[in-house]
Chains A and B, each alone.
Chain A
Amino acid sequence: MNILVCMKQILDPEVPARDFRVDALRKEAERGSASLVTNIFCENALETALQFRERAGGGTITALSFGPASAEDTLRKALAMKADAAALVVDDGAAKPNPLYVARVLAAAIRKLGSFDLILTGREAGDWGAGQTGALLAEELGLPYIAFADSLEPGLRIKRQTESGWEIVEAKPPVVVTITNDEHNVPRIPKVRDVMMAHRQPLTQFTVAELGVEPVDYYEVVELAIPQKESRCELVNVDVLAQKLAEMTAAL
């Protein structure tokens, strides 16, 4: 089975709130001294793909990213984790990305890269958290779609989380699946040897122009601001806390 995993490089979600600034004009976060990292759900997706390949006893995994040239780091890490191939669509910055634009770029790149049975994305990214890429990609490619999966079994049984439990979905490939985290798909740590090798592996590169994708209107961020809310915490002892808890729950 040929699997493609979409991976996004984002501003480190763990940048401390005190270091986090937004550019109110450009309506985006300032890079500051924060690192760029791979979105964790994309890594969960890659891990799920790697485990699926191990269970299925074969198959190829291609990592695909759309982003700045620095997104190469994300793909090298994917190769180190043992993806077979990687491709980068370099964002020339001509259009401010929105979910539909991103889905079109990815879809165009996927068509160029070949045919895939399984296309995985993370459930959402730790920056904008739109949670739409997978679904729109499925629509652009005309494929069925399953969200919030956390593991895949050969024969294509998809286990996915719901708010009250889980479901098993049987699917006929090709299908687009978004991956969420669970205890079993924590991304593996690559071996240092593989990290070293990954830097020598070839990387396919496209530009948006090469893919022939035009900017598209979808939505626009009109305001971006850091909420101001810090409440004063009253430190109390156990007796007082018990009293307060009793009061707060008494009326309910």
Chain B
Amino acid sequence: MSDIVIVIFGSPDSRSAQGLAGAAAPLGGASRTVVVEGEYQPEPVLDALVDACRGASVVLLANDTYSQEVAPRLAHRLGGACVGDGVDVRMVDGRLRVTRQVYGGKANAVIELRRSPAVVWLRARSFAVAPITGSFAVSAAQDDRANTRIVERKVAAENDAKLEDAQVIVSGGRGIGGPEGFRDELEPLAKLLGAQMAASRAACDAGWVPPTWQVGQTGKKVAPELYLAVAITGASQHMAGISEAKNIVAINIDPDAPIFKHCRFGIVEDYRKVVPLLRRKLEELRT
């Protein structure tokens, strides 16, 4: 009988926590849910989780910063194996198989974990929700002997709500040309649509928008109902972050941009021309 443990940083009521429960359901359901309470500190939390997960055959985590930080180490300390960014989990002959994107989203791999426990972090929001049961809290005791210590935490003012939970996302790429385009064109549009703002890696690397906005293989993996990609060409690394989006709509000046191979609706035109018209039209429709 497999002993499945869910590890949650933050609230057990969150979408991602329920997604983990959903992921565990087909495997037989979680036997324990460990909720890490208190201020996260890497070393004490890891120690606490090693204790809490001992004896488990599967440990499921979400794809937040802390989960990704502890998961491989937790596997190592428990003598298990780890894999991350899973979008599907299955048990085959007593071994856990995890499906994930590799090669920047150009391929899908099914990976079988050969050690126990199997410690896996998942794109938790990609899984159907299930109720959390049997949760108990661990609190990481402060450890003054630890050689690392988080001394400052800053939540970026923009985009307080989680991008990963957003239903509608307006996202801009390199073609936006600068922070003004995001501020003057995309933000008003996002307001109209009740959308969260996001960006491609190129726009984040250029410093136009904060790195927390980055969507893609190495940014956030999002799963909105509507993803409006403005001036984003749609390289596979970017598409890897929106593979779970229900509807992709693209505005791009380049008719040959790969994004048009992935979207439902598109406009080939300079966004500077389209977006103002679009805003006006949306306002009209609203009244």
Indicate, yes or no, whether A interacts with B. Answer: yes
**Is A235 close to B, CB under 8 A?**
yes
Is B110's CB under 8 angstroms from A146's CB?
A: no
Report the Cα distance A230→B258, complex, angstroms: 10
Chain A residues within an 8 Å CB radius of B69: 135, 145-148
**Is B174 close to A, CB under 8 A?**
no
Is B168's CB under 8 angstroms from A13's CB?
A: no
Is B81's CB under 8 angstroms from A138's CB?
A: no
Cβ distance B179 to chain A, nearest Cβ, rounded Å: 11
Pick the interface stretch among A64-72, A81-89, A239-247: A239-247
Is B82's CB under 8 angstroms from A132's CB?
A: yes
Report the Cα distance A127→B285, complex, angstroms: 46
Nearest residue (CB) in A for B193 is A249
Chain B residues within an 8 Å CB radius of A229: 262
**Is A172 close to B, CB under 8 A?**
yes
**Is A33 close to B, CB under 8 A?**
no
Cβ distance B152 to chain A, nearest Cβ, rounded Å: 4
**Is A209 close to B, CB under 8 A?**
no
Interface of A is mostly: mixed
- Say whether, besides A135-B73, A180-B218, A182-B204, A221 and B148 are in contact (CB < 8 Å): no
Chain A residues within an 8 Å CB radius of B160: 164
Cβ distance B153 to chain A, nearest Cβ, rounded Å: 5
Is B206's CB under 8 angstroms from A138's CB?
A: no
Report the Cα distance A190→B281, complex, angstroms: 50
Is B107's CB under 8 angstroms from A20's CB?
A: yes
Is A145's CB under 8 angstroms from B250's CB?
A: no
Q: Which of B112, B115, B147 contacts A144 (CB 8 A)?
A: B147
Q: Mark B206-249, 1 if CB is under 8 A from A, else 0.
A: 11000110000110100001101000000111000000000101
Is B228's CB under 8 angstroms from A245's CB?
A: yes
Q: Which of B114, B206, B226 contacts A245 (CB 8 A)?
A: B226
**Is B51 close to A, CB under 8 A?**
no
Q: Mark A44-82, 1 if CB is under 8 A from B, else 0.
A: 000000000000000000000000000000000000000
Pick the interface stretch among A1-9, A108-116, A193-201, A212-220: A212-220
Is B112's CB under 8 angstroms from A175's CB?
A: no
Is B42's CB under 8 angstroms from A165's CB?
A: no
Is A100's CB under 8 angstroms from B97's CB?
A: no
Nearest residue (CB) in B for A183 is B207
Q: Mark B111-128, 1 if CB is under 8 A from A, else 0.
A: 111110000000000000
What size tier do the contact residues of chain B reach? 35 or more
Cβ distance A59 to chain B, nearest Cβ, rounded Å: 19
**Is B151 close to A, CB under 8 A?**
yes
Is A219's CB under 8 angstroms from B81's CB?
A: yes
Is A241's CB under 8 angstroms from B278's CB?
A: yes
> For chain B residues 79-97, which have a beta carbon within 8 Å of chain A?
81-85, 97
Chain B residues within an 8 Å CB radius of A203: none
Q: Which of B111, B211, B282 contacts A221 (CB 8 A)?
A: B111
> For chain A residues 135-173, which have a beta carbon within 8 Å of chain B?
135-136, 138-140, 144-148, 150, 157-158, 160-172
Is B81's CB under 8 angstroms from A218's CB?
A: yes
Is A127's CB under 8 angstroms from B149's CB?
A: no
Is A183's CB under 8 angstroms from B225's CB?
A: no
Q: Mark A226-252, 1 if CB is under 8 A from B, else 0.
A: 110111011111111111111011001
Chain B residues within an 8 Å CB radius of A13: 103-104, 237
Is A237's CB under 8 angstroms from B267's CB?
A: yes
**Is B167 close to A, CB under 8 A?**
yes
Is A218's CB under 8 angstroms from B42's CB?
A: no
**Is A222 close to B, CB under 8 A?**
yes
**Is B48 close to A, CB under 8 A?**
no
- Say whether, besides A100-B81, A166-B154, A231-B262, A29 and B107 are in contact (CB < 8 Å): yes
Cβ distance A155 to chain B, nearest Cβ, rounded Å: 12
Chain B residues within an 8 Å CB radius of A162: 64-65, 153, 212
**Is A99 close to B, CB under 8 A?**
yes
Query: When A and B form their complex, which 10 residue pairs have the shortest distance between CB atoms, in order from nearest?
Result: A242-B281, A183-B207, A135-B72, A223-B110, A168-B152, A139-B76, A132-B72, A165-B156, A147-B69, A172-B147
A-B contacts besides A220-B111, A230-B262, 5 pairs, CB < 8 Å: A20-B103, A172-B147, A175-B148, A245-B193, A245-B228
